[in-house]
Amino acid sequence: MKFALAQQNYHIGNFEANVQKIIAGIEQAKEQGADLVIFSELCICGYPPRDFLEFNDFINQCYAAIDIIREHADTIGVLVGAPARNTNPLGKDLFNAVFLLHEKEIKGEVHKTLLPTYDVFDEGRYFEPAYSWNVLEFRGKKLAVTICEDIWNMGSNPLYRITPMEELIQFGPDVIINLSASPYNYAQDIVRNSIVKAHTLKYNLPMLYCNAVGSQTEIVFDGGSLVYDDAGNKMGELKYFE
């Protein structure tokens, strides 16, 4: 299977421009013969959307954008990040989600488990953590799809009680995919590479990591999307700040 990573710069609430960029990324991936194109966390609306998530019209526009994009996900699979409504009356009204689009349909949905509430992050204010875990099946392969913070719960003193990959590995996935909006700091590239490499070695799976690029007020996203094989070798790294 051939994958494409679409490292792009999104504007919060600029649905028209974000959709145009995503469609352009899909078409470029098609031209390159990709089976599946991967975008970044909350790419539909931009990250971090913060209190815009409190407005129902904002969420409606997210779903409308997905409806436009899925018409272009005909012969190719597309993974995009967007808010998703929580139909359970308990908990927060939204999930931080990834949608699998293919054959012009929504084929699957994954919810973020680990919601950071430190430093520049305040996701616990808006989102409900995942209730359950499942791989996404695509063209005979099982995709372990995670979202940003979901891969950072490693080490001897983890911040969270649940590690999503420990749940997903039980389904026998073929690859780990992470959609991220990971802000820059002076050592982030080193830490990010070590986290991705550690996953490939621990779970003996290749991993694709797609990060956002650009900035939203004081938060800067540095790109540096990654591909590692199942033996912990870095096979590709996209440019930083481009």
Of the listed 21, 41, 45, 210, which one is catalytic? 41
| 112 given a catalytic annotation | yes
Q: Which residues of 14-38 are buried (b: 16+ CB within 10 A; e: fewer)?
A: ebeebbebbbebbeebbeeebbbbb
3-state secondary structure of 25: helix
Catalytic residue among 45, 62, 148, 210: 148
In one letter, which amino acid is 221? F
* 148 in active site: yes
One of 21, 45, 112, 210 is an active-site residue; which one? 112
Q: Can 239 be counted among the known catalytic residues?
A: no
Instruction: State the DSSP H helix or E strand holding residue 137, giving kind and residue range, or none if neither.
Output: strand 136-138
CA angle (11 as vertex; 9, 16 as ends), nearest 5: 105
Give CA–CA dist 21/157, Å, rounded: 39
The span from the CA of 69 to the CA of 81, in Å, is 12
Q: Which residues are catalytic?
A: 41, 112, 148
